[in-house]
Every structure is written in structure tokens, then in C-alpha cells.
Structure 1
Amino acid sequence: MTLDDLRVFVAVCRTGSLSAVARDLTCTQSAVSQHIKRLERETGISLLERHPRGVIPTPAGRLLHTAAAGGLGDIDHALRRLRDLVRGEAGSVRVTTGATTVRHFMSEAVVAFRHRHPGVSLEFQTATSSRSCFDALLAGGLDLAWITLGEPVRGIELRPVVELPWVLAVAADDPMATKSRIAPADLADIRLLALPQNATSRSHLDAWLAGAGIDPASDTSVSDWDTAILLAELGLGHAIVPDLPAWHGPTHPDLRLVPIPDLPALWTGWAVRRWESLSPPARAFADTVEASCEQAFGARPDGPDRRRRTVNACS
């Protein structure tokens, strides 16, 4: 059993596909299978179930995957830190997050960090969901993930940073635009622009709508909050989205954002494997982003406990 065997196994569990891992590693599917077979031979038990559309870990495979993913992530992170020391480099910070996060939460912080730490390399990797961010963190090689906070995940530490109240985004000439606030009953007849199916914000919103007995019509879905805002401003539907400062002001003259106070706010912030293992540049970047967000969004002392904490519950 080698580290490469375990790395390939973890990748197969993450993707559910031998062929996808083979493409990522630029090797043959047979070579990937050999890694799995060697592990199964040494453990004496089947680790994967083969299905027509891919593979899933067996109960034994899930046990090995949980242990291996955490250990390999630690090893890969340590090796990257050691390479920086050997090369005498200032280090690097690798962040995974959604497509529009940098613009809404980090743009000023990135500029400030670059001025203070010109020798540090910054790398951003786009993810499609918080779940994808968690997988990338557990796989190793990344320092930080900026996510919309939802259900906890074993082995991930969360740090809430920004509270986001919800608003109804509508065109300026929409009848809803004249309201000072939106009540749940007001949402029954809207034409909803649906948020991405796998997004934490979508799950949060769907649960609240279902609890309130509201099932708005929806014939259009979007890939991110910014697209929802654009379509709402064009009068093509109504968007229920977290309120962001960039959508206020003269850049959106035909947009109105009406508060929905009954809808519990979202929190967004950092997810990491372990705060104490972060490199000094990564901690400095996280702190810089937090300070910038506090200026842009304001301090919110009435929110959830913002202390760094490890979440041990399963997702």
C-alpha cells in the first residue's frame, strides 16, 4: 500500500469515476484500477461497488476514505509548506470559492494583501457549491474556502464572517417595488428566478418557503446571485437573494431591493481543515478579508458565535 494508492482511491471516491480520475492523472483506467485492486488485496475486503454509471465506496471503503482523505490532506499541506521553506519562497495562499465571491467579498482585501505581502502567491479555484469546497479542502492542497455556511462537515472548521439578510430583487416598475418590506404572503404569486439547485442558499430558501407553505411559480433558473439580479432588473422575474452592497446605488438604476425580514439571514465565511495548521500568509489573508468585510458590511455582534471552532458533526 502506497501513498499513491491512497491518493487514487480518495480521488475515485470523490468523483465516483475511474475514467475521470484517469483523465485527471493522464494515465489509463487500467492503471487506476490497479491502485484500487492493490488496496483491496492488502486490506482483504472490497472497497468499491461498480455500477453502470460509476462507482461508490462500500461501507469498508467509506471507512478507509474518511481516514485517508484527512491524512493525505495533512501530508500534502505539510509537503507544500516544506517546499516553500526549501526554496526560500514567501509562500502561497490557495483559496477555493464560488465564481462571484472575489468581487463581492474580497476585491479590496486582495489589493491590500498584495501591497502588504508582494512575494506571496495567490491562487483562486472556482467551485460550484459549498460541498465542492469541502471536498477540495479535505483532498489537500488548498488553504481556505469561502462558503455560505450550512450544515457542518466532519473535520472542517467554520468561521462565520458576514451576515446576509434576504431581499426581493425586482425591476423598478414592478408593483412589489413600492413596498417597504416583503411579507411571506406577498411571495405566493411571484415568478421566482430559481437559485442553483446545489447551492446552500437555495436549500436555505427552499426550506423556509416550504415551512411557510409557499410554492411560487418558477420557469427560470440561474447559476449565481449576480445573474438573478440582472434578470430581475430586466423585469424577467423576481429574485430572492442575500443583500450585497454592490447591488445598491447608481450601477443598478432599474433595480429595487425590498427586505424580507421574516426570512432568517444567511452567514458566509471561512472553512478550513485546521486553523492552527494554516501558514502565516494564509492566516494573514483570512484576517485581511475579515477586516475588509467588516468595513463593507459592518460588524454584526448579534450573529452566531464567531469564534474559530471545529465542527465534528457529519454532513
Structure 2
Amino acid sequence: MTLDDLRVFGAVCRAGSLSAAGRELGCTQSAVSQHVKRLERELGLSLLERQPRGVVPTPAGRVLWGAVTEGLGRIDQAVRRIEELARAEGGSVRVTTGATTVRHFMAAAVVDFRRRFPRASLEFQTETSSRGCFDALAAGAVDLAWITLRPAGGEVEQRPVVHLPWALAVAAGDPLAGRESVEPADLQDVRLIGLPENSTARTQLGTWLAGAGIRPVFDTSVTDWDTAILLAGLGLGRAVVPALPEWNGPGHPDLRLVPIPALPPLTAGWAVRRWDALSPLARAFADTVAEHCSRREAG
């Protein structure tokens, strides 16, 4: 078997179909199929199970997929480190996160990092969910992922950086805008703007509210918190959002954030495959972001 065979097999498992893997890799479905068949002939077992909507790994396929994910990811990281040493350049740090994270959590840290490492390059890859960030990490496509943290486990290591209290975002003229705080019970049957159902933040919020016996109605879906507070400020709905400091500033004169102290804070931070395998440059960037976030929380 070759590294190409293994890379293609890993792409098929991630994508869930031969055609999708072909599009990702820039080759034909037939070429993808040949790589998989070569592995199956050599191993003497079927690695993929065909289903109506694509393919899933068989038990043997899951074993191989786990090894491919771990092995090729570490090889890719090692090759990058060696290339950086050979070029005698500053190297690069690849980060995956949501569309608005850099503005809210990393702007000052990026400036500080670039001042300290002027020859280093930063590459940001946007994902719409924590699941997409985890997949990018597993594939070795990035060094760091900034995510909403979820229960520990799986193939990545997580480190909390910020704890974000929840607030109800409403227009200035909303009946709840003048309240000092709201309780979860105030959200019963309220029609809310929310993130997609598969997002970690939306799942955690729904779990906490359900634990309090509250079942709000999410009748509008957006892909990021900035869009949610924009719609709330325009009076087009209410949104339960993390209480980020910049949303209380002069840039949002028609928006009010009413605290919901009974809800546990939302925790965000870094996810990596292995902290001890990070390059010194990637570790420096992660630490710089954490330091700046800590200063802002203290302030």
C-alpha cells in the first residue's frame, strides 16, 4: 500500500462518499475507487460498506481509518516542520475557527504575535461548526482549532481559554430591555434567533434550558452570533448570545444585552491533536491568544 492509498481512504471516510472524496482531492471517482480496492486486496477484507447515500467504514475500515488519521496527521506535521527548517524561514501557523472568532478573540493577539514573529505566516481556515474544526484537525490540515468546548474525549485535546456569560439580546424598545436580568423561565415559548441545531453552542444551550424545563422556539437560524445580534438590534427577534463586551459599545446603540445569570457560562478555547506535538510557533500563538483573552476578562 502507498501513502496515496491511505490518504484517499481517509478522505473517503471523512466525506462519506467516493465522489465527494474525489472532488476534495481533485481526481475522478474511478481513481478513488482504485485506491480503495488496492487496500482491500492487500488486506483481504472489505473496508467500506455501500449505503444508499454513500459509504461508511466497516469494522476493519474503522481500525484502519483511526491509524490513518493519527499516522498521516503526524507525518504531515513533521514534513512541515522540516520544510520550515530547510527554508530557514519563520514558518506558519494554521488555525481553523468560526467566521467571527478572529475579530472577537484574536485581533490584538494577532498584532502582538506578528510583532514578535515578523517572518511567520498565519493561515485562517473558516468552518461553520466545531465538528468541521475537529475534522480539519484529524486530517492534519491545521495546527489549532478555536472552538466551543464540549465534554472531553475523542481524538483531540482541549484547553479552556474564556468563559462567556449568556445574555438575551433584544432591541432597545423591547419590553425586556429595561430588566436587570432575566430568568430561564422568561424564555418559555419565546421565539428566538439561534445558531444551527448541529452547533455545539446551540446544543449546550438547549440542554441547559431543557434541564430547567424550558423549551423556547427557535424560528430563525443564523450561522454566527454577529448576525443574531444584528437581527435582534433591528427588532426582528430575540437571541440568547454570549455577552461579548464590544456588543455593549457605541457601535450597537439599538441593542440591549440582558444578563441570564442562571445559565452556566459558555466555554471557548483551543483544541489540538496533541499539545506536545505542536510546533513552537503554534504553541506561541495559542499562548498569545490566551494571554490577551485573560487580560480582557480581568479588565
Q: Shorter chain as normaliser: what TM range? A: over 0.9
Cα distance in 1 for residues equivalent to 2:174 and 2:189: 13
Cα distance in 1 for residues equivalent to 2:141 and 2:231: 37
Aligned to 1:145: 145
Q: Is the 8 A contact 1:156 1:271 kept in 2?
A: yes
- Tell me the secondary structure at the aligned position of residue 12 of structure 2: helix
- Tell me the secondary structure at the aligned position of residue 178 of structure 1: coil
Aligned to 1:303: none
Cα distance in 2 for residues equivalent to 1:218 and 1:97: 24
Aligned to 1:245: 245
Q: Structure 1: which amino acid aligns with 2:215?
A: D
Matched, 1:51 2:51: yes
Q: Is the 8 A contact 1:77 1:142 kept in 2?
A: no
Deviation at 1:286, TM superposition (A): 0.8
Q: TM-score, normalised by structure 1?
A: 0.92
Cα distance in 1 for residues equivalent to 2:196 and 2:100: 14
Aligned to 2:60: 60
Deviations 1:138-192 (A, max 9, x none): 1113111100001334231111000011000011111111111111211114221
Cα distance in 2 for residues equivalent to 1:108 and 1:115: 11
Q: Is the 8 A contact 1:245 1:297 kept in 2?
A: no
Deviations 1:278-307 (A, max 9, x none): 1111111111111111122228xxxxxxxx
Cα distance in 2 for residues equivalent to 1:151 and 1:60: 27
Aligned to 1:17: 17
Cα distance in 1 for residues equivalent to 2:247 and 2:66: 41
Deviations 1:236-282 (A, max 9, x none): 11100111112111111111111111111111000111111111111
Q: Structure 2: which amino acid aligns with 1:170?
A: V
Q: Structure 1: which amino acid aligns with 2:253?
A: P
Matches within 5 A, 1:277-292: 277-292=277-292
Aligned to 1:296: 296
Cα distance in 1 for residues equivalent to 2:41 and 2:151: 36
Cα distance in 2 for residues equivalent to 1:297 and 1:66: 38
Q: Structure 2: which amino acid aligns with 1:90?
A: G
Deviations 1:40-73 (A, max 9, x none): 1111111111123211111111111111101110
Aligned to 1:304: none
Cα distance in 1 for residues equivalent to 2:67 and 2:214: 42
Deviating more after overlay: 217-226 vs 98-107: 217-226
- Tell me the secondary structure at the aligned position of residue 220 of structure 1: strand
Cα distance in 1 for residues equivalent to 2:194 and 2:156: 29
Cα distance in 1 for residues equivalent to 2:212 and 2:37: 51
- Tell me the secondary structure at the aligned position of residue 176 of structure 1: coil
Q: Structure 1: which amino acid aligns with 2:201?
A: S
Aligned residues: 299
**Structure 2 unaligned spans of 5+:** none
Q: TM-score, normalised by structure 2?
A: 0.97
Matches within 5 A, 1:26-41: 26-41=26-41
Cα distance in 1 for residues equivalent to 2:73 and 2:3: 11
Aligned to 1:76: 76
Deviating more after overlay: 18-27 vs 173-182: 18-27
Cα distance in 1 for residues equivalent to 2:224 and 2:84: 36
Structure 1 vs Structure 2 CA RMSD: 1.2
Cα distance in 2 for residues equivalent to 1:26 and 1:140: 18
Aligned to 1:193: 193
Matched, 1:85 2:102: no
Deviations 1:77-136 (A, max 9, x none): 101111111111111100011111000000111111111111001100001111111111
Q: Is the 8 A contact 1:80 1:141 kept in 2?
A: no
Deviating more after overlay: 290-299 vs 176-185: 290-299
Cα distance in 2 for residues equivalent to 1:75 and 1:288: 26
Aligned to 1:263: 263
Aligned to 2:105: 105
Matches within 5 A, 1:156-175: 156-175=156-175
Aligned to 2:120: 120
